[in-house]
Amino acid sequence: MRRCLLAILLLSVSASVFAGVADMQDDQHRGMGVRGIALSDSYGTMFANPASLVFNPGSISASLWVTDNGYVNEPSSGLMLSFCGRRMGFTLEQTTEFTKREDGLYNALKYTYLQMDWAYNWKRLSAGLSLNAQTAMKRTSLEIDAGRELSDLAVQTFFSRYETKPNSTKVTAALGAMLDMDWFTIGAVSDQFAEASDEGSLEFSGKDLYENLCFGLSLFSPTFNRRSQLNLFKTGISVELVHPFQDASTLCGGIDVKMQMLPDAQVDFMAGWRQPFSRDKLFDMDWRDATQSAGVVVTLLGWRINAYAEFPAKVYAGEGTASDVQATVSLSYSR
């Protein structure tokens, strides 16, 4: 427990120094360009598929994301804390996002998320339910002085008063299933089959359940050899089809090469590709609309440092600028 409190303290200090983003997503696999619908090797995959919760029981985790597409261009800061049991998970997260205006001032939005996850498994088959509540507050016309960007952002994030943003509270529900066979995993999730706003009740929709379906498939090489020793390298491949029944869909794929020095000392090298497409133009995809990603994850004694970058594929055609590249560094601790 003392280690967890120390991790939270360190992350809070880091959040006041860096600009970051935490958006209720699993950051560990962002370098692969996938959500994690068919992955179950970390607690954070429950944000993509709540059915994965049963494969990562009994963890307490704290995380901080650090993201920007330029030095203090449109930064955010955020902190996440998760408690996961065998069947249930609880996550609290707060993020603050800054948007730069044409006159040089900033507008800010502060989001608070609360998520509950439940899961149950029958041997290797599992099912899960997720409820997510969010609300937002705002500030406008913020001044960030040149040369004091980081300190000014810290003050505006942690010590300034925000006002409630009208019609910003909503509750959504997601439903997922997963089959985990060690060397391959199949996952399916409807990431929003019910929704409630400020003044309405929770409404269930069969149409939303169908239109928000996502599918994933992952393949892995063995963790151990025949002598029950760690393989030095473990390779994983993941492919996802996001919202294939909507007009705007995405095909995602990525690879992860893991170097396993010890069970709690690992380095992952990742690369991924996300290709948007339309149902009526399935065979007419434009590769310049895609987003490529690459990342490195270092895990040691419960601590994890993740660095990844995402950039549009059009840069290979000589289009785009450096501001199109979004770089992220995250720090997390789990026990």
Tell me the mean pLDDT in the region 285-313: 91
Task: Specify the pLDDT at position 20.
Answer: 34
Task: Collect all residues with Cβ–Cβ distance below 8 Å to 148 and sequence separation of at least 6.
Answer: none
The pTM for the full model equals 0.83
Residue type, 311: F
d(CA 270, CA 310): 12
Q: What is the pLDDT of residues 247-293, one digit of tens each?
A: 889 999 999 999 999 988 999 999 999 999 887 776 778 888 999 99
Q: How confident is the model at residue 1 (pLDDT cuts 50, 70, 90)?
A: very low
Question: With pLDDT > 70 as the criterion, what percentage of the chain qualifies?
Answer: 87
Please tell me which residue, 148 or 219, carries the higher pLDDT value: 219
In angstroms, the CA 103 to CA 225 distance is: 61
The dihedral built from the CA positions of residue 250, 66, 24 and 105, taken in this order, carries a sign that is negative
Give buried/exposed letters for 271-293 (b at 16+ CB in 10 A, else e): bbbbbebeeeeeeeeeeeebbbb
By C-alpha distance, which of 64, 86, 90 is closest to 77?
64
Domains: count for the chain: 1
239, pLDDT greater than 90: yes
Least trusted range by pLDDT, from 42-51, 59-68, 149-158, 163-172: 59-68
pLDDT band at 58 (very low <50, low <70, confident <90, very high): low
For the four alpha carbons of 216, 126, 129 and 90, in that order, the dihedral sign comes to: negative
Residue 192 has pLDDT above 80, yes or no: yes
Q: What integer pLDDT is reported at residue 17 of this predicted model?
A: 34
Question: What pLDDT score was predicted for residue 85?
Answer: 83
State mean pLDDT over 159-175: 88
Cα dist. 24→102, 145, 180, 250 in Å? Answer: 29, 30, 23, 19
| Residue 187 phi, psi (nearest 5) | -135, 150
- 172: containing domain: 2-334
How high is the pLDDT of residue 15? Answer: 36
Token reading at 310: 């995402």
**Which bin fits 123, alpha (ψ -120 to 50), beta or left (φ > 0)?**
left
Residue 185 in this model has a pLDDT that exceeds 70: yes
Q: What is the CATH number of the domain that holds 202?
A: 2.40.160.40
Q: Nearest-CA neighbor of 219 among 190, 243, 251, 254? A: 254
Q: What pLDDT does 69 receive? A: 57
